[in-house]
């Protein structure tokens, strides 16, 4: 018997395709509803075979364990059948069972949900996020995401350096027409800060890569995409913990020029919201913190449901 879906149900299915993996708490924050309502909505879709749920890890924490939600094959087929999702988009770009770093993706999604919330509460602000995993963005002929890019290396005979940000987004003031470009790197505390090996994929090398990207002005390709003049960008690091933030900030201060690098941690974002004065420009934690939306739009706007999960409930081996 066909499942009767309302507008909210379909919007949730599309969101799951875009985000790939969400917790019930994230769904509540994204949809602007309570956790009980989110749990009921997800339960309806799961019973219809459109979504799938699982509890990560051992879930030994107290209380109800947090569930991870993603599209089931039937949900993917439904979005393909009505034209929402391209028929040639591979299943592994939509389903979540093949994700190797699920907690990293969930952390990125928390940031994205905070951006959605800021757009709701700050008049005149427009936020547009480009995900490296979105099935709705066209990929290059080599199958790489839209946000993947290359820059020349210092070695004339070397291959171009390729990198893929965790996300690229713009913040625009609809009244003035001004727009800022941001690149996002979400840290989970697992990457080496600085390695002595040449070509190592550590935090320091990421900063060097973005410095070169800045100098080559390769970021200006986003001008055509958004129809706005761009004279630079900001690189955001979202650190896993306050201690990790301190360590990365120390590294950033030594990696001049680094004024374009802004940093905060997940706890600060959860407590005050992404638009608050929580960002350390250039890694200067001892200086007054700033807001990525600027002083006139800055505000404390946390999500009521954005508290970080109990580690014992969110640890996964995927």
pLDDT tens digits, one per residue of 97-154 = 878 889 999 999 999 999 999 999 999 999 999 999 999 998 887 888 999 998 877 6
Q: What is the residue-averaged pLDDT of the chain?
A: 88
Least confident of 98-102, 121-125, 210-214, 243-247: 98-102
**Percent of the chain residues past pLDDT 90, beyond the cut:** 74
Q: Taking a C-beta distance cutoff of 8 angstroms, is the pair 139, 125 a contact?
A: no
Give dist(CA 208, CA 193) in Å, integer: 12
Per DSSP, helices labelled H in the chain are 7-19, 24-31, 35-47, 73-81, 102-121, 203-216, 221-226, 242-253, 266-272, 311-314
- For the segment 163-179, the average pLDDT, to the nearest whole number, is 93
Burial category of 310 from C-beta neighbours within 10 Å (exposed 0-12, middle 13-18, buried 19 and up)? middle
Residues sharing a CB contact under 8 Å with residue 82, sequence separation 6 or more, in sequence order: none
Q: Is the pLDDT of residue 15 over 50?
A: yes
- For the segment 287-292, the average pLDDT, to the nearest whole number, is 97
Best CATH choice for the domain 7-99 from the list 3.30.1280.10, 1.10.10.10, 1.10.150.120, 3.40.50.150: 1.10.10.10
pLDDT at 201: 78
How far separated are the first and last CA of the chain, in Å rounded? 34
The CA-based diameter of the chain, rounded to the nearest angstrom, is 63
Alpha carbon separation from 137 to 44, 73, 131, 148, 207 (Å, rounded): 28, 20, 8, 12, 26
Task: Name the helix (H) or strand (E) containing 173.
Answer: strand 167-173
Q: Provide the sign of the torsion angle of the four alpha carbons 15, 21, 23, 24, taken in this order.
A: positive
pLDDT at 318: 30
Q: Is the pLDDT of residue 308 over 60?
A: no
pLDDT at 312: 31
Where are the domain boundaries for CATH 1.10.10.10 in the chain?
A: 7-99
What is the SS3 assignment for 181?
A: strand
Q: Is the pLDDT of residue 237 over 80?
A: yes
Q: With b meaning 16 or more CB within 10 Å and e meaning fewer, what string describes 222-231?
A: beeeeeeebe
Closest-CA residue to 74 (of 92, 51, 97): 51
Q: Is the pLDDT of residue 181 over 90?
A: yes
Give dist(CA 271, CA 276) in Å, integer: 10
pTM: 0.90
Q: How many residues in the chain?
A: 318
Q: Is the pLDDT of residue 309 over 80?
A: no
């Amino acid at each position: 018997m066909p499942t009767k879906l309302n507008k909210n149900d379909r919007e949730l299915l599309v969101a799951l395709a875009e985000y790939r993996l969400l917790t019930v708490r994230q769904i509540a924050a994204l949809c602007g509803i309570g956790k009980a309502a989110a749990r009921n909505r997800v339960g309806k879709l799961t019973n219809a075979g459109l979504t799938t749920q699982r509890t990560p890890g051992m879930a030994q924490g107290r209380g109800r364990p947090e569930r991870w939600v993603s599209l089931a094959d039937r949900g993917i087929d439904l979005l393909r059948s009505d034209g929402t999702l391209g028929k040639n988009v591979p299943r592994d770009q939509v389903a979540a069972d093949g994700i190797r770093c699920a907690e990293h993706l969930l952390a990125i999604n928390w940031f994205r949900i905070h951006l959605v919330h800021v757009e709701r509460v700050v008049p005149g602000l427009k936020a547009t996020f480009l995900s490296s995993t979105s099935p709705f963005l066209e990929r290059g002929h080599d199958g790489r995401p839209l946000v993947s890019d290359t820059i020349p290396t210092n070695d004339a005979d070397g291959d171009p350096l390729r990198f893929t940000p965790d996300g690229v987004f713009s913040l625009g003031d609809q009244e003035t027409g001004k727009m800022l470009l941001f690149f996002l790197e979400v840290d989970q505390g697992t990457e080496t800060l600085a390695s002595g090996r040449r070509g190592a994929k550590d935090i320091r090398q990421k900063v060097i890569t973005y410095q070169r990207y800045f100098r080559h002005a390769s970021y200006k390709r986003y001008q055509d995409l958004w129809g706005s003049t761009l004279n630079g960008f900001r690189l955001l690091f979202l650190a896993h913990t306050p201690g990790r933030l301190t360590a990365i900030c120390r590294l950033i201060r030594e990696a001049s020029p680094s004024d374009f690098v802004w940093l905060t941690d997940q706890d600060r974002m959860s407590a005050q919201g992404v638009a608050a004065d929580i960002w350390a420009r250039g890694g200067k934690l001892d200086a007054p913190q700033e807001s990525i939306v600027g002083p006139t739009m800055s505000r404390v706007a946390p999500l009521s449901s954005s508290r970080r999960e109990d580690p014992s409930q969110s640890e996964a081996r995927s």
